[in-house]
Structure 1
Amino acid sequence: MNRYDRQEKFNHIGRAGQSRINTKTVGIIGMGALGTHTASTLVRAGVKRLIIIDRDYVELSNLQRQTLFVERDAVESLPKVIAAKKQLEQIDSEVMITAHIDHCDAAALHDYFASCDLLIDGTDNFEVRQTINDFSYKTTIPWIYGACVEATYAACAFIPGVTPCFNCALGSLPVMNRTCDTVGIIEPAVSLAASFQSVYAMKILTGIPFDAKLIYGDVWNNDHTTLKFGRTKKPDCVTCGVHPTFPYLADTQQETMLCGRNTVQFRRVTDNAAELERFLSDRDMNYQKTPYFIRFQFNEKPMMWFPGGRLLIHDIKSINEAKTVFHQLFG
């Protein structure tokens, strides 16, 4: 039986729509709660290729809502994209999945996602979303925003040349300045946000015209709202206005405080694993090496280095504190 038989019978997709989906490449930025849900849906829907990126590794606290991971992934501290790729290939062995263990910045977007037909936001970071937004409108690749915390959810499609951008719509977006690390989250809120993202994705991938709306609600209180945002476009917008400058694509910040994690990320420390191992050995510092990272401690601060040069310093309360520890170690 045809794998997509039931989807093709849905009259809004049909065989023609399914044929379009089967040719598409989708990029998912962030392989956490939203990213794992939408990745599973789109692989099952039949996309040709999926490009995924995430800078983090699996922890036990992820399993409550990040649906592609199992306990063993957390025990082994597998990078999220590696664990996700393994599970997705068991859903469909023919889908092409490219996984990047990396921080998503402007350079990563240009290097990894320029060939995509669609981008999906699976992040929890405002600055990264701004960078995705700039990249989307500069390259004319549509993107789909998603967010969830506590019992609330939100989703919206941003289509260059059709809709105002994320910057223009900010005044209409629900305020989500809390994080799941501080106030928690329930899985049904994730499912709803990811479901609306996936519906928007299927409409875009099949080329079906639709009226993009901002969707948000509270699953616990059974509240749901949709809003049109077409009139929010600003002529002087730095991303989609008359003279766009795309300022977030010029971001050169080297240190980032990871949301709710007491962790600071340094970019481009060294891209040479052997050099780092010699450095640690010369100082009699124990370390654990896996195919995906090198883990060690300094001044009771756990650290993880990833190929490409990223370094995470855990149990840190500020970027300034992290810089102090970093310079004490590396000079």
Structure 2
Amino acid sequence: MDPLHRYSRQVLFKPIGHDGQEKLISSRAAIVGLGALGAVIANHLVRSGVGFVRLIDRDFVELTNLQRQTLYDEEDARLNLPKAMAAAQKLKEINSTVEIEPVIADLNIDNAEELLSDIDIIVDGTDNFMTRYLINDVAVKYDIPWIYGGAVSSRGMFAVIKPGITPCYRCLFPTVPLGRGETCDTVGVLSPITDIIGSFEAIEAIKLLVGADPNPSLTQLDIWDNSFMDMNISEGRNPKCPTCANHEFEFLDRSSNEQATYTTLCGRETVQINYRKKAKVDLKSLAGQLQKSGKVAANDFLLRFSPEDDQQITIVVFTDSRVLVHGTNDISKAKTVYSKYIGS
């Protein structure tokens, strides 16, 4: 049987055709983050026949994921399977001809180049800013296109980043927010928005891999308010951008002020997160953001937060942006908890 037979309906689509399908089969993709966005992206890329897909995620499946993370089921949650492994198992049953490589890891300064530099396309399924700046550094350094996407509440956005051609992520977002943004665990998220944004990211990846022109815009939409906005960014490169103009890869540089240090405090079952670039935290605003998700107590110097769904964990945020995550010595878990509730 013709190996392209399973893709016959896709091959009939003229902008892809036989040649485009052959390009997909010979392509290599990495998906960073296998939550709601990453599950949608991985599903589409594997079904579309991208020949090699690397799945990178540090987390495990929980019952609260199932409302929107479409590759997982109750048995995955019961077994606390790592998302990368659970996703790989499902996807191998969907398309056994695709090589799927699950990587149970936190993408960080130690492994980002190793995991992303041998790839043709990187697709963002993450939920935090710092990882996206790290992806951007690797993408620009190795001239690899990538697709940015994010979704929270009923809103989402995505953009295609082609090093040397489009603005890079740092051109679009020059300053690291250092958290305090909305997250799915503080304001919720609707599953249709993650399906929509993940699908947009997947089709933009497919366009790039077959050599078609991608969307030139930063696209934003709100499915509750039925609003849609396209902002053309094709001419938006910053000639002074540290990353794509000056090739200063600060998120790959251990001495950079953009780095955060993660330290396990001896004997205290606590991880300290300390940003080199200090930023004053508005504790009152942060308290308002977190009140729906657990117990909050704050004074002029620090905020103490205990999530409702993890009574072993307490997060303490200081006004200078230093954070203590009590209840774990696992740096990866501390990062996950921090990104869920604080936002970076």
SS of 1:231 mapped into structure 2: coil
Matched, 1:118 2:121: yes
Matched, 1:233 2:237: yes
Matched, 1:255 2:259: no
How far does residue 77 in structure 1 lie from its aligned partner after superposition? 0.6
Match of 1:202 in 2: 206
Matched, 1:141 2:144: yes
Match of 1:220 in 2: 224
Match of 2:342 in 1: none
Which shows bigger deviation, 224-233 or 244-253? Answer: 244-253
SS of 2:55 mapped into structure 1: strand
Structure 1 residues 11 and 236, CA gap change in structure 2 (3 angstroms): same
Map residues 128-167 of structure 1 onto 2, 5 A cutoff.
128-167=131-170
Structure 1 residues 325 and 93, CA gap change in structure 2 (3 angstroms): closer
- Sequence identity, in percent? 38
Residue identity in the other structure for 2:61: V
Tell me the distance in 2 between the aligned counterparts of 1:119 and 1:255.
Answer: 26
Of the three residues 78, 81, 85, the one matched with 1:78 is 81
How far does residue 112 in structure 1 lie from its aligned partner after superposition? 1.7
Residue-by-residue CA offset, 1:30-82 (whole Å, 9 max, x unaligned): 01000000000000000101011111100000001001101011011111101
Tell me the distance in 1 between the aligned counterparts of 2:220 and 2:327.
Answer: 41
SS of 1:255 mapped into structure 2: strand
Structure 1 residues 198 and 88, CA gap change in structure 2 (3 angstroms): same
Match of 1:66 in 2: 69
How far does residue 88 in structure 1 lie from its aligned partner after superposition? 0.5
Tell me the distance in 2 between the aligned counterparts of 1:322 and 1:40.
Answer: 34
Match of 2:197 in 1: 193
Q: Is the 8 A contact 2:313 2:325 kept in 1?
A: no
Residue-by-residue CA offset, 1:84-124 (whole Å, 9 max, x unaligned): 00000010112111111111113222122221000001111
SS of 2:6 mapped into structure 1: coil
Structure 1 residues 326 and 116, CA gap change in structure 2 (3 angstroms): closer
Tell me the distance in 1 between the aligned counterparts of 2:327 and 2:193.
Answer: 39
Structure 2 residue runs of 5 or longer lacking an equivalent are 264-269, 274-305, 317-321, 331-344
Structure 1 residue runs of 5 or longer lacking an equivalent are 257-262, 267-300, 302-312
Q: Is the 8 A contact 2:315 2:326 kept in 1?
A: no
Match of 2:108 in 1: 105
Structure 1 residues 124 and 314, CA gap change in structure 2 (3 angstroms): farther
Q: Is the 8 A contact 1:22 1:47 kept in 2?
A: yes
Structure 1 residues 194 and 164, CA gap change in structure 2 (3 angstroms): same
Regions of 4+ moved over 4 Å: 263-266, 323-327
SS of 1:248 mapped into structure 2: helix
Q: Is the 8 A contact 1:42 1:198 kept in 2?
A: yes
Q: Is the 8 A contact 1:51 1:113 kept in 2?
A: no
Residue-by-residue CA offset, 1:289-313 (whole Å, 9 max, x unaligned): xxxxxxxxxxxx9xxxxxxxxxxx9
Residue identity in the other structure for 1:93: S
How far does residue 323 in structure 1 lie from its aligned partner after superposition? 7.0
Tell me the distance in 2 between the aligned counterparts of 1:42 and 1:176.
Answer: 32
Residue identity in the other structure for 1:204: L
SS of 2:90 mapped into structure 1: helix
Q: Is the 8 A contact 1:149 1:176 kept in 2?
A: no
Structure 1 residues 133 and 235, CA gap change in structure 2 (3 angstroms): same
Structure 1 residues 150 and 176, CA gap change in structure 2 (3 angstroms): farther
Structure 1 residues 55 and 210, CA gap change in structure 2 (3 angstroms): closer
Of the three residues 78, 96, 99, the one matched with 2:99 is 96
Residue identity in the other structure for 1:220: W
Q: TM-score, normalised by structure 2?
A: 0.74
SS of 1:128 mapped into structure 2: helix
Q: TM-score, normalised by structure 1?
A: 0.77
RMSD of aligned Cα (Å): 2.6
Tell me the distance in 2 between the aligned counterparts of 1:38 and 1:176.
Answer: 26
Q: When the two structures are aligned, how many residues end up with a matched partner?
A: 273
How far does residue 227 in structure 1 lie from its aligned partner after superposition? 1.2
Residue identity in the other structure for 2:314: I
Tell me the distance in 2 between the aligned counterparts of 1:41 and 1:326.
Answer: 36
